[in-house]
Amino acid sequence: MMELTSSSLTGASEDVVCSSNPVQTFSAGPTCKLLTKNAIFQSPEEDGSVFVCAGDEASNSALLWDAGSGSLLQKLQADLPVLDICPLEVNQTHLLATLTEKTVKIYKWQ
């Protein structure tokens, strides 16, 4: 996860230089043969926390981390490699969906 910054080249100039700095590194397994869509999203508890969820092909699971501390919070087991991860809100209920070639699993925040 990177932090983007920008600064003016000179005080009166409209020219801007952008750069990025690593904030946190997450490792979701030793292999990556598939193009998995991972997710970065705000905590459903609205406490300012940010979560990262990524597929782990080696264990057929999705891994959920706290982006601030880098700590692994939960491993969500799947039957096949996770291809897509989607946080969503339906009727004021926060959900996290994972997609494989054959299944969609929907998890409810508690």
- Closest residue by Cα to residue 110 from 97, 96, 100, 90: 96
Backbone φ and ψ of 28, nearest 5°: -110, 55
Q: Whats the size of the chain, residue-wise?
A: 110
Task: Give the CB-side neighbour count of residue 58, counting CA atoms within 13 A.
Answer: 7
pLDDT digits 0-9 by tens, 46-90: 888 999 999 999 899 999 999 989 899 999 999 999 999 999 999
Tell me what pLDDT residue 50 has. Answer: 93
11 or 20: which leads in pLDDT? 20
Calculate what percentage of the chain has a pLDDT beyond 70: 96
Percentage of the chain lying above the pLDDT 90 cut: 55
Residue 110 confidence (pLDDT): 83
